[in-house]
Amino acid sequence: MHLRLATLQRSEQVIKIGIFDSGYGGLTILESIRRVLPKYDYLYLGDNARAPYGTHSFDVIYQYTLEAVKYLIEQDCALIILACNTASAKALRTIQQHDLPIINSERLNANREKVNVLGVIRPTVEAVPGITKTGHVGILGTPATVSSESYVLELQKIAPNLTISQQACPMWVPLIEAGEHDKPGADYFVDLYLREILSKDSKIDTLVLGCTHYPLLAKKIEQVAGSIQIIAQGALVAESLKDYLARHPEYRKQLSENSTCTYLTTENADRFSQSASTFLSAPIHAQHIDLITV
Ligand code: DGL
């Protein structure tokens, strides 16, 4: 009788993939992942109240990201994607090397299965050498992502002959978070940062949108960039996650399959629902949560 109850509870438990971003940007990743892996259950968390992350220091980005990761684990996420380049660049390694071993050993003691956290930079970098023809590549990112040099270091490991230029675009995320990205006012800042990166290297034929918010500016970016290839991350991250799950049954087998998606924000839920519904072209209803300092 007890055994039957335990089995029933387990099969009904919703074990999710957590998708985290500082705000709306991770929705561009979530959409692509759900297209490729529609059967799983997802929990999206946007820390909109504290966005943008990209102008903060390492300590602050790490602290905020760890709070979000711990929250998502408490909400039964077996796998968490940091759908944020800034968090991937600044916090992922410390979380993987320092925090996850502690979290997983506590879970082991409590007879619970282990969890993992993945980022978005590696899957993006792997696509670049196959796309550029001139070998001249531009990285567009937040000030924190650019100063971390994560893209440059990762690219140099797999393609040491590439010439890489970087450009921080500090105004793009605030424009998107404020819902101004499709307004004429955004044109000035799109033009400004693209002109700056192309003045560093006129042979650039491939530009990486190294921030998950930037696909929301893609139309304006493409207009200015002309024939330059623009790499957005959604499809790359989705394929990489599919491959990861195929290679890691220990996480895949934990995940429930009801095709649900729940949205959480640290900002006002109605405001998030309204903006997110526009980005996703479908109505959603978010819930407000508070992330507490750990
Ligand atoms: N979407 C985040 C990224 O990919 C934006 C960072 C921010 O909040 O500044 O970097």
The pLDDT, as a whole number, for residue 130 is 97
Tell me the pTM.
0.93
Give the fold, CATH level 3, of 122-232. Rossmann fold (3.40.50)
The pLDDT, as a whole number, for residue 279 is 80
* pLDDT digits 0-9 by tens, 120-158: 999 999 999 999 999 999 999 999 999 999 999 999 999
% of the chain at pLDDT higher than 90: 93
% of the chain at pLDDT higher than 70: 96
Which residue has its alpha carbon closest to ligand 1 atom 8?
52
The pLDDT, as a whole number, for residue 184 is 94
Domain boundaries defined on the chain: 3-119+235-293, 122-232
The pLDDT, as a whole number, for residue 108 is 98
The pLDDT, as a whole number, for residue 11 is 55
Matching CATH number, 3-119+235-293, of 3.40.50.1860, 3.10.129.10, 1.10.3720.10, 2.60.40.10 = 3.40.50.1860
Nearest-5° Cα angle at 149, 145 to 155: 110
The predicted model gives 27-56 an average pLDDT of 97
52 upstream amide cis, omega within 30 of 0: yes
Please, are residues 228 and 202 in contact by the beta-carbon 8 Å criterion? no
Determine whether the shortest distance from the Cβ of 175 to ligand 1 is under 6 A.
no
* pLDDT digits 0-9 by tens, 210-263: 999 999 999 999 999 999 999 999 999 999 999 999 999 999 999 999 999 999
Are 3-119+235-293 and 122-232 the same fold in CATH?
yes
Is residue 77 flagged as an active site residue? Answer: no
Q: How many CB atoms lie within 10 A of CB 154?
A: 17
Tell which atom from ligand 1 comes closest to the C-alpha of 26: 1
